[in-house]
Amino acid sequence: MTIAKHMNNMRKKLNQVREQIVQAAMAYGRDPESILLLAVSKKKPASDIRLAWELGQRDFGENYLQEALQKIEELKDLDIQWHFIGAIQSNKTRHIAEEFQWAHCIDRAKIAKRLSAQRPANMAPLNVCIQVNIDDEPSKAGIDLAELAELALEIHELPGIHLRGLMAIPAPQATFELQRVAFAKLSAALDSLRQRGIDCDTLSMGMTHDMEAAIAEGSTLVRIGTAIFGERD
């Protein structure tokens, strides 16, 4: 495929996703500008990210640290907001603290403290979201709702990071209404944190298959990969 044809194909896909966000927002009384599109670029080459950037996309999500660091180096001439959306082990925190603007999958105080301590002093605090295991799935990462408030209060006090909100990957559901149930629980959890005096503004929820349900329940950030970049190898 030629570069021009590839760019036209990506332009079409990006515009379709953007239009879906606008239509869903309007259907549920939301301001489309209040919903950030995060392009999930894992397993895709840096050249694809550059094309998407040229088409106006600025926020990109990566799951695998070594792959992401290579792309960050290759694309350092672009003003990209990098989001780390994979699991975070202790040996990854320094690179995430130094190279990313967001981390979405915080579920332990230990990781939050390391990110805070390792964030360079000349950089703005790292934006973070707490990952909630909203459907209590044994195989999935994330904190239980019952433990959320305690962790959030602890993270809220750390100087090198800024608790922006919550993130979840609900279990797949067969209907639109069932998809909304889990997202509604996460939205209510964010409201509960606000009532405790924690100034959060982000609900990182919704992917290609359940984006509309997430927007209906207040998502402010949707994580879209396949619909923009196509199937991964």
CATH of the domain at 67: 3.20.20.10
With 80 as the cut, is the pLDDT of residue 20 above it?
yes
The total of structural domains in the chain comes to 1
120 CB-side CA count, 13 A: 8
pLDDT at 138 over 90: no
Alpha carbons 214 and 220: distance in angstroms, whole number: 9
Confidence tier at 207 by pLDDT (50, 70, 90): very high
pLDDT reported for residue 2: 83
Residue 94 has pLDDT above 90, yes or no: yes
Across the range 143-148, mean pLDDT stands at 95
Q: What percent of the chain has pLDDT over 90?
A: 92
Nearest in space to 38 (alpha carbons), one of 16, 20, 54, 62: 62
The count of residues in the chain is 233
The pLDDT of 207-233, averaged and rounded, is: 94
For residue 1, pLDDT beyond 90:
no
Residue range(s) defining the domain that contains residue 22: 3-229
Section 100-125 average pLDDT: 97
Q: Which of 129, 141, 132, 87 is nearest to 104 (CA)?
A: 129
Phi, psi of 192 (to 5 degrees): -65, -40
Q: Which has the closest alpha carbon to 229: 12, 67, 75, 68?
A: 12
Task: Reduce the DSSP state of residue 225 to 3 states and report it.
Answer: coil
Is the pLDDT at 87 greater than 90? The verdict is yes
Kindly state the average pLDDT of the residues 128-150. Answer: 93
Average pLDDT, rounded, for the chain: 96
Within a 13 Å sphere around the CA of 231, how many CA atoms are in the beta-carbon half?
A: 1
